[in-house]
């Protein structure tokens, strides 16, 4: 009797229609419209287009010739590498360490996850104060250690590092929670069997924890790499308009700049399309390299 209720599937469509309608209105339509806008002339946000570009692919030619766009793509790719090594890599180490302690595990889980719940804008302002040239916390600490020459952390040479460090610090806790959950799902019997076979703590991690955590790590890497394409709020707060000298542009911040500062809406639409394409390609590459395994 109970199984018969699943035979009539017509009511399912009634419940699925609102979800599909919502996605069509707020996801698919804006996405398709954005692609069309990238081929038109739109000089201001919310304004009607002045017609199609001549030629229609003008914005894409401009994008490949734009030096700032090349800088933004280069920095975004670098951000992906920082994400894999600095965020997911550190999160793996922290998760393994916390999983192997008997006291204070809950405390460390809270502490490591805490940065992700703080507003990125607030974090950007905080790190601006930390890296100030005059009376910034880092330079004051260096002065107390005897360093006489102040470091310009937001200058041309160190701006990119200064921008990426807070982004890396903020999201480590996010991947830490995912990885520690994956570790908790590993059966304790496997560790007991390894201990009976004489495995040391390091060998348990190498031959039990890491292999069984492989699929979770793959998920974290894909999330991190695709998320690097959308990083915006914290870098923009620390380096609005890509200063100094545009060396800190990311695809997300440069798209925002073109939309709201230069009012070049059609060009920013083309950048948005490029971000989508980069996201699809990189996700495909990462999924190919880090293939999930069946156990």
Condensed to tens digits (0 to 9), the pLDDT of residues 84-120 reads 888 999 999 999 999 888 788 888 888 888 888 888 8
* Pairwise CA distance, residues 257 & 268, whole Å: 8
Query: For residues 294 and 40, which has the higher predicted lDDT (pLDDT)?
Result: 40
Residue 7: pLDDT over 90: no
HSE of 101, CA atoms in CB hemisphere, 13 A: 14
Domain segments of the chain as ranges: 54-289
3-class DSSP string for 5-43: HHCCCHHHHHHHHHHHHHHHHHHHHHHHHHHHHCCECCC
Per-residue model confidence (pLDDT) at position 25: 93
Please state the CATH superfamily assignment of the domain spanning residues 54-289 in this structure. Answer: MetI-like (1.10.3720.10)
* Pairwise CA distance, residues 295 & 293, whole Å: 6
* Pairwise CA distance, residues 193 & 214, whole Å: 20
- With vertex at residue 134, the alpha carbon angle to CA 128 and CA 138, rounded to the nearest 5 degrees, is 60
> Mean pLDDT score of the chain, rounded to an integer?
87
Q: Token pair of 259, please? A: 């939309």
* Pairwise CA distance, residues 255 & 249, whole Å: 9
Per-residue model confidence (pLDDT) at position 240: 78
Residue 266: pLDDT over 70: yes
* Pairwise CA distance, residues 250 & 254, whole Å: 6
Per-residue model confidence (pLDDT) at position 156: 78
* Pairwise CA distance, residues 28 & 276, whole Å: 13
> Residue written as tokens 């880090």?
290
Residue 2: pLDDT over 60: no
User: What letters, b where the CB count within 10 A reaches 16 and e where it falls short, cover 139-170?
Assistant: beeeeeeeeeebbbbbeeeebbebbbbbbbbb
DSSP letters for 123-187: HHHHHHHHT-TTT-HHHHHHHHTT--SPP-TTSTTTHHHHHHHHHHHHHHHHHHHHHHHHHHTS-
- Comparing 12-16, 22-26, 83-87, 184-188, the range with the smallest average pLDDT is 12-16
* Pairwise CA distance, residues 190 & 197, whole Å: 11
The CA-based diameter of the chain, rounded to the nearest angstrom, is 82
Condensed to tens digits (0 to 9), the pLDDT of residues 129-164 reads 899 888 888 989 988 888 878 888 888 788 888 989
Per-residue model confidence (pLDDT) at position 4: 58
Helical packing angle, 251-260 and 67-82, nearest 10°: 140
DSSP letters for 48-68: PP--B-SSTTHHHHHHHH-HH
Q: Which among 84, 112, 82, 87 is positioned nearest to 97, based on CA atoms?
A: 112
Q: What percentage of residues in the chain have a pLDDT greater than 90?
A: 29
Would you call 200 helix, strand, or coil by DSSP? coil
Per-residue model confidence (pLDDT) at position 95: 92
- Asked whether 194 and 203 are in contact (CB, 8 A), the reply is yes
Q: Token pair of 17, please? A: 């229609």
């Amino acid at each position: 009797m109970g199984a018969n209720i699943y035979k009539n599937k017509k009511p399912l469509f009634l419940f699925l229609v609102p979800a599909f309608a919502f996605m069509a209105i707020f996801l698919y339509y804006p996405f398709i419209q954005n692609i069309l806008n990238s081929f038109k002339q739109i000089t201001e946000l919310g304004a009607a287009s002045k017609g199609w570009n001549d030629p229609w692919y003008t914005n894409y030619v401009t994008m490949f010739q734009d030096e700032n766009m090349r800088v933004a793509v280069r920095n975004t790719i670098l951000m992906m590498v920082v994400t894999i090594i600095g965020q997911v890599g550190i999160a793996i180490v922290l998760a393994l360490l916390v999983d192997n302690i008997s006291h204070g595990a809950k405390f460390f889980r809270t502490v490591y996850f805490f940065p992700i719940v703080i507003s990125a804008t607030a974090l950007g302002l905080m790190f601006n104060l930390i890296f100030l040239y005059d009376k910034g916390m880092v330079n004051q600490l260096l002065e107390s250690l005897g360093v006489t020459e102040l470091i310009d952390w937001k200058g041309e040479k160190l701006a990119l590092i200064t921008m990426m460090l807070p982004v890396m610090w903020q999201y480590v806790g996010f991947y830490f929670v995912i990885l520690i959950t994956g570790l908790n799902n590993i059966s304790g019997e496997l560790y007991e069997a390894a201990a009976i076979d004489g495995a040391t703590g390091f060998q348990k991690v190498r031959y039990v924890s890491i292999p069984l955590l492989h699929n979770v790590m793959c998920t974290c890497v894909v999330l991190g790499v695709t998320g690097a394409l959308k990083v915006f709020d914290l870098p923009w707060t620390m380096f609005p308009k890509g200063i100094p000298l545009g060396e800190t542009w990311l695809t997300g911040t440069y798209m925002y700049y073109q939309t709201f500062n230069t009012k070049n809406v059609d060009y920013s639409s083309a950048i948005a399309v490029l971000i989508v394409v980069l996201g699809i390609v990189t996700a495909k590459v990462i999924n190919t390299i880090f293939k999930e395994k069946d156990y």
